[in-house]
Amino acid sequence: MSENTLPTADELREEVRSWLRDNYQPLPRNTDPWVSSPERIAWLEKVLDAGYAVPTYPTEWFGRGYPNKLAKVIAEEFAAIKAPGACQDRYNIPANTTLALGTEKLKRDLLRPFLTERSRICLLYSEPGAGSDLASVRTTATRDGDEWVVTGQKVWTSGAKTADYALLLARTDWDVPKHKGLSLFIMPMKQPGIEVRPLVQITGESHFNEVFINDAKVPHEYLLGEEGNGWRALQVALAYERSIMGDTNRSSRNKKADSLIDLARQYGKLDDPAIRGQLAKVVAMRELNRLNNARAKSSTTPGTSTSIMSLGKLAMSKILHTEAAMKTQIIGAEALLAGSENPVADDVNFLTLNAFFTSIGGGTDQIQRNIIGERVLGLPKEPEIDRDIPFREARRS
């Protein structure tokens, strides 16, 4: 789309407001974060057909070819009335990765279902022996005609029980160095040869799973990027994941302790100079993180990644742990309580435990520090004695 045919920000804002007035009704709350309700799917279909779901995408793939500054207008208007589904080009991991790296068939088959949540996806990256060092995955994909046969094990997979597809990192060549022998696929999950076992978390939930794969099949056309280019392809997907984790944090179960300022006011601590000083620090950290994430997003284009995203994810981890410690301090000895009869304490403890999710998911805090040190600050890389030898010869636990 040429500059001459683009609307002005004011024209687009009025268009979006008018469309939302005519079309949006608040949706019933999803009880399961990994399953989309029929009402939500129907709404996302309307948003996609209107061109608001992925406004920076090309027009042939449901977008409008807008620049980021106009996409931001759409996002602001949807956010103003808490309507979901707009500007998924900023956060939808499977759709954005598919657009950037997928074959024409893959995009035709799955791009729309990913954007409307008719098809949900999980991320099959980590393994029992390859968590922080993802390049050491041993799940193997072997070419067999027009499909790949996959065998291995994955762990810490969110939403695997209900997922329709998985973004799968697998080894396709054992005779080259570890980073060069990987490929990235989108694998159907509802097939023989895939067993999902839930893992109980410290919060008592079971969002994570371990996945056992035995001769599962993946169409060759569901390969993302070229064979052996999985490590580069993975960086694109990880950049979106880290961007999401750097932007957002999870709300609590009872909604009693989500706002740090409201909690301090409720417990009469808002006038405490020490608490106010800590509050100011957290507010400043959040604002700095918001600006840093905006900078990172403005410097990237679809299908690329930036190490700056690691700053946002690491910062959000620090923010969540700091806020959790403050909330515990604010409610005092009440934090020793738990259960539904103590909703504030229950939420404070839940958020304290859940903060560790951001410290681990999408790459641990330690890994983010390595990335920032090496790729942002230009510090020397940590030694990797197995980096340049065939993976078959690498020492493995």
- Phi and psi, residue 391, nearest 5°: -60, -30
The residue to which tokens 């103003």 are assigned: 80
Two structure tokens written together for 396: 């493995």
The amino acid that residue 37 corresponds to is S
Cα(167)–Cα(240) distance, integer angstroms = 13
Q: Catalytic residue at 241?
A: yes
Two structure tokens written together for 125: 């990256």
- Cα 47 versus chain centre, distance: 21
Cβ atoms of 348 and 354 closer than 8 Å:
no
Cβ neighbour number for residue 155 with a 10 Å cutoff: 20
Cα(41)–Cα(44) distance, integer angstroms = 5
Active-site residue identified among 117, 127, 210, 241:
241
DSSP codes of every residue in 232-284: HHHHHHHHHHHHHHHH-----SSSSSS-HHHHHHHTT-TT-HHHHHHHHHHHH
Q: Which residues are catalytic?
A: 241
